[in-house]
Chain A
Amino acid sequence: MSKRAVTMLVILAVAWGGLALALTNDMAPKLGLDLKGGTSVILRAPEGTDSDVLAKAVEVMRSRIEAIGGVQEPEIQVSGDRNVLIQLPGVTNQEQALSVIGQTGQLSFRPVLAERTAGDPFAGLLDTTTTTNPTPTSTTAPADDSTTTSSSTTTSSSTTTTTTTTTLPGIDPDSGLTIADDPTQPGWLAQYAEDGTIAEVLLVGGTDLMGDQVDEALPFFDPTENRWVVQLGLDSTGADAFEAMTKQAAQYGLYIDPQRRIAIVLDGEIMSAPWVTPDEGIAGGTAIISVGSQQEAQDLSVVLRYGSLPISFERLDVKKVSATLGSDSLQAGLVAGLGGLILVAIAVVFYYRVLGLVTVLGISVFGSLLIATIGTLGRVQGLTLTLSGVTGIIVSIGITADSYIVFFERIKEEIREGRSLLLAVDEGFARAFRTILTADTVSFMGAFLLYALAIGPVKGFALSLGIATVVDVIVAYFFTRNVVGILARTGFGEGGWFSIRGATGVALEGSTS
């Protein structure tokens, strides 16, 4: 068997096999809210909430939901004076999405005043001797600062602090934690380990440095230090407060005195409490927070970026919703779309004869690969297909058909210039592929930029268009080229009306110049 035939069979197997696998393994594309329905949540803000604050909260929720990647196109809108209506498509990540949007999410940076271990819940309430293992996190000045070198090492030396306290109102006697955290007041707060147990308890001070003063927080790998860090950027008022706070902390002994640490607190829970490594305040509003793993860096940056909902919401109502588009519309759309495709098939077969059949087969390969890819992404990444996505696909079918047309018109042209059929097919593909690549590059750039920069339904559309563009190039290169190459060597090449030459309108003997 020739190399062409093998390649062709492989791609057919991959496409159709992939489709079959996707459909049988419950990996069919997940449909969005408009096509399939989902969950509707109503959240209520405290009375008298300013409408600007409400709008800001909607924005924060959208970022959060999109950041977890589980739900592609949430629909969020302000309803009435103080309600927010959120509609989430799909089911699998519903719980996660609900927990994320339901968080009141008040983020603050707090000076650490004292520490004690968990375990003995009453330990901090009476005279105690505490031992603690600091987490391997630290705050340092921006990357060029040489003091960062030592900060990544985990200090295992135990610290002994004697704290004298009495049982205070507002402290939970079972856990020894502050019951309701007010960021402007000191409080005993815990950092939880992954399994939900208390890893560390710290007494943090009141602060006025809140999450809405964070401009940016990006996770990245620091190659010089060989570890993951989060780059933090604060706005101008935040920068001043941060400098004052770190200056204060820098007076204490590094890795010895807990007061050298700054706690990052979300909703009364300590997310991270890095040490301040430079011996002076960190000025300029930027800082590097070193953390252990990539996952930790990403999680922390999400918390920092989206962690500050300006208000706390109460969950009012959770319900299942039907498809907003309505199943009648969807059915009509499918019938109409299918009808249109059949018309296209008839037109190309009439026009390009045997090559038209190749087009029809090629579009089925394209469709199979696309559905399998979207299904897989739905499973792995939570990609949901909405009407916007379906639109992207319908249009990409048109663009794919164009790739065939560009190729076939090329073959006709080459043959009219007097080339032999085999040469025309090879040369025609080489030239047509260049055109297809150029045009697809434009489409792909568009899709990529829209995906990277836009939000909401536009993102869903861009993703399916981008995938479709890549699949188009793959199908053209591995499928179409080989099939046409094989056909040209068989009776379908030079034969009668239905053949490739038949489609060029140039008779075998009378080739024009």
Chain B
Amino acid sequence: MSTFSRLYRADTSFDFVGNARRWLIISGTIVFVSLAGFVIRGLNLNVDFEGGVIVQVANETNATVADMRAALTAIGLGDARIEFLDSLDGATAFRVRTPALDEALESELVHTVADTGGVGIEETDVEAVGPTFGAEITARAIQALVVFLVVVALFIAWRFEWKMAMAGLTALFHDLIITFGVYALVGFEVTPATVVAVLTILGYSLYDTVVVFDKVTENVESWSDSHTYTEIVNRAMNQVLMRSINTSLTSLLPVGSLLFVGSYLLGAATLREFALALFVGIAAGTYSSIFVASPLLAVWKEKEDYWQLHRRRLEGRREAKLTKASAGRTSAPRAARPPTVGGVTPRPPKKRKKR
């Protein structure tokens, strides 16, 4: 049977957790590169965050936004924001915003804008502007974010358990760092739309992780008698794998379409700002729920006394079975009794009632 039809029937048995070390090393490397890019190159914040220059001219030549855009593209400022102003008496004007420029480029900008508007340089109005997405909005967004993360962690801890909350948050930070890393490394402009896209990624990443953990919890209820925690997680991963792939596909198709068709083929550079963040973030979110959150959870839970004891007991039982099966061997070693952990009575995991 082909891998696809096995996937289709959820018949796969990939060992996700067994390779945990490998996945975590890969993720760790990507995160490290992202952080390095972040530190070395920094983010390219656009005029909405940093402020910049506004050039305003009367439109004497009845030029269109497209004319202005073409003129600006010629001097390499194609992604400036162009606004068409319309007064009540019918006179029109342009307002062009760019990030802060060096003196030569700024004077080139002023000349270009004045030429397109058909007025002299002395009639253009050039002003340095402050950010629209200022410190206040940023501070409030960060404050909201911190509260959100704490509440979500508490919710997952209550609904599932706190190790899942921690694993989910780890995956979330992983996705965030990678997304910002891509921005830093590629040097794309970060705009307010990017910030919103990043917030979306948070929700998406958590959503994805919650679906996987929901399956794990359910499997613990029905499978824990005969399987180790790692096996349970692996099983859950294989069960939700097709769902993860399909969901990423249905999310990535429209976003990818926005990114590639919208921004490259039809030349709408402004869409790129958020489509790229969404694309990277969603891809990272799917990856991390499979390769970061779950392996991390499995490795962590396996360290618990209960699950260690459980594993040894199961291994013992399986070995005994094997021994019995190989009849004729008289000197088969007895199944080792599971060692006990001195002084500590291991606690069984909390079993939740099915709802």
Contacts and interface: CB of A to CB of B under 8 A. Distances in A.
A438 B10 contact: no
A62 to B, nearest CB: 7
B204 A395 contact: yes
B271 A332 contact: yes
Given A79-B127, A336-B262, A322 B274 contact: no
A416 B255 CA distance: 33
Given A441-B155, A445-B151, A340 B193 contact: no
Interface string A318-354: 0111101110110111011101110110011001000
Interface in B121-142: 127-134, 136-137, 140-141
A273 interface: no
Given A78-B129, A328-B66, 12 more contacts: A75-B132, A80-B127, A85-B54, A329-B268, A351-B246, A391-B278, A401-B250, A439-B211, A455-B140, A457-B195, A457-B196, A458-B140
A347 B253 contact: yes
B144 A454 contact: yes
B159 interface: yes
Interface of B: 5, 8-10, 51, 54, 65-66, 69, 81-88, 93, 95, 127-134, 136-137, 140-141, 143-145, 147-148, 151-152, 155-156, 159, 192-193, 195-197, 199-200, 202-204, 206-207, 210-211, 214-215, 218, 239-240, 242-243, 246-247, 249-251, 253-258, 261-263, 266-271, 274, 278, 282, 355
Contacts of A456: 133, 137, 140, 192
Nearest to A449: B148
B258 A337 contact: yes
Given A319-B85, A319-B86, A395-B204, A85 B250 contact: no
Contact of A454 (B88, B131, B141, B254): B141
Nearest to B240: A409
A340 B270 contact: no
11 contacts: A328-B66, A332-B266, A341-B254, A391-B200, A394-B278, A395-B278, A402-B207, A402-B247, A450-B144, A453-B140, A461-B196
A446 B81 contact: no
Kindly state the interface size class of chain A when it binds its partner: 35 or more
A450 to B, nearest CB: 5
B318 to A, nearest CB: 20
A442 B254 CA distance: 23
A455 B196 CA distance: 12
Contacts of B261: 332, 335-336, 339
Contacts of A454: 137, 140-141, 143-144
Contacts of B86: 319-322
Nearest to A441: B155
B250 A336 contact: no
Contacts of B156: 442
B214 A457 contact: no
Given A79-B129, A324-B81, A336 B144 contact: no
Interface of A: 40, 55, 58-59, 62, 75-80, 83, 85, 319-322, 324-326, 328-329, 331-333, 335-337, 339-341, 343-344, 347-348, 351, 387-388, 391-392, 394-395, 397-399, 401-402, 405-406, 409, 412-413, 416, 431, 434-435, 438-439, 441-443, 445-447, 449-450, 452-458, 461-462, 465, 504-506
Contacts of B83: 40, 321-322, 324
Contact of A409 (B127, B136, B243): B243
Nearest to B252: A398
Contacts of B10: 409, 412-413, 416
B141 A442 contact: no
A392 B196 contact: yes
Across the A-B interface, give the 8 residue pairs with the lowest CB-CB distance, nearest first: A340-B254, A398-B251, A340-B257, A453-B144, A322-B84, A78-B130, A336-B262, A332-B266
Contacts of A388: 192-193, 196
Contact of A439 (B195, B210, B266, B267): B210
Given A333-B268, A335-B266, A340-B253, A398 B195 contact: no
Given A455-B136, A458-B137, A344 B197 contact: no
Given A391-B278, A442-B210, A465-B203, A449 B151 contact: yes
Contact of B250 (A328, A331, A348): A348
Contact of A337 (B127, B240, B257): B257
A416 B239 CA distance: 12
A454 B144 CA distance: 6
Contacts of A457: 133, 137, 192-193, 195-196
B262 A450 contact: no
A335 B262 contact: yes
A432 to B, nearest CB: 10
A332 B134 CA distance: 29
A161 to B, nearest CB: 47
Contacts of B242: 409
A505 B278 contact: no
A33 B254 CA distance: 24
A445 B155 contact: yes
Given A340-B258, A435-B211, A458 B250 contact: no
Contacts of A59: 136
A138 to B, nearest CB: 35
Nearest to B85: A319
Q: Of B196, B247, B255, B261, which is in contact with the most chain A CB atoms at under 10 Å from its CB?
A: B196
Contacts of A83: 127
